[in-house]
Amino acid sequence: MKTDREAASSIEKLEEFSQLLRANNLKITQPRLRVLDSISEKPTAISQPDLEKILGTEIDRVTLYRILASFEEKGILHKVFDLNGTATYALCSTKCSQHHHHDQHVHFICSVCNSVFCLDEISLPKIALPPNFSLHSIAINAVGLCDSCKEKQS
């Protein structure tokens, strides 16, 4: 049973996701809304296999793959590779747009649980490139212990 407040906030969230899809010229579909909802529930970035576990049989693998790819292209999600080289996805800041990701921030990856956190408040240093080079992306990962793994160790 959901409380009234939970129901209200999930309606608000659905409205927010619908607006996000509309703003990106994507049709509002149940699978797209479910994917956004599942990703926003987690404080960490999430991989496709983990999303599959959450969504169960609701969305087939090919559809999920296409949704993630289109979200990434539209600047709704950004991809971060965890320590195993698995792609994980996190929601972008509102500044991102198609082919133009502005959320180039540091990511923290826990060496014990392999969780990927967006450290939005830490921006990346300006990289002075040699003449005629053009920059597409910078990835800086900080690796260490997340708060819950650190707690378990002490």
Phi, psi of 102 (to 5 degrees): -105, -5
Q: Is 143 left (phi over 0), alpha (psi -120 to 50) or beta?
A: beta
Using the rule CB under 5 A, is 59 a contact of Zn ion?
no
Residues between 120 and 149 with contacts to Zn ion, criterion CB under 5 A: 146, 149
The residue type at 45: A
Using the rule CB under 5 A, is 101 a contact of Zn ion?
yes
Burial bucket for residue 86 (CB in 10 Å: 0-12, 13-18, 19+): middle
Q: Between 58 and 141, name the residue whose CB sits nearer to Zn ion.
A: 141
Phi, psi of 71 (to 5 degrees): -65, -40
Using the rule CB under 5 A, is 54 a contact of Zn ion?
no
Determine the angle formed by the axes of helices 30-41 and 61-74, rounding to 10 degrees: 70
Closest distance to Zn ion from the beta carbon of 144 (Å): 9
Using the rule CB under 5 A, is 67 a contact of Zn ion?
no
Query: Cα separation of 80 and 116, whole Å?
Result: 8
Q: Between 58 and 93, name the residue whose CB sits nearer to Zn ion.
A: 93
Query: Cα separation of 66 and 74, whole Å?
Result: 12
Closest distance to Zn ion from the beta carbon of 51 (Å): 16
Choose the binding region for Zn ion from 9-17, 34-42, 108-116, 122-130 (rule: CB under 5 A). Answer: 108-116
Residues between 68 and 87 with contacts to Zn ion, criterion CB under 5 A: 75, 78
Closest distance to Zn ion from the beta carbon of 4 (Å): 33
Closest distance to Zn ion from the beta carbon of 91 (Å): 8
Using the rule CB under 5 A, is 109 a contact of Zn ion?
no
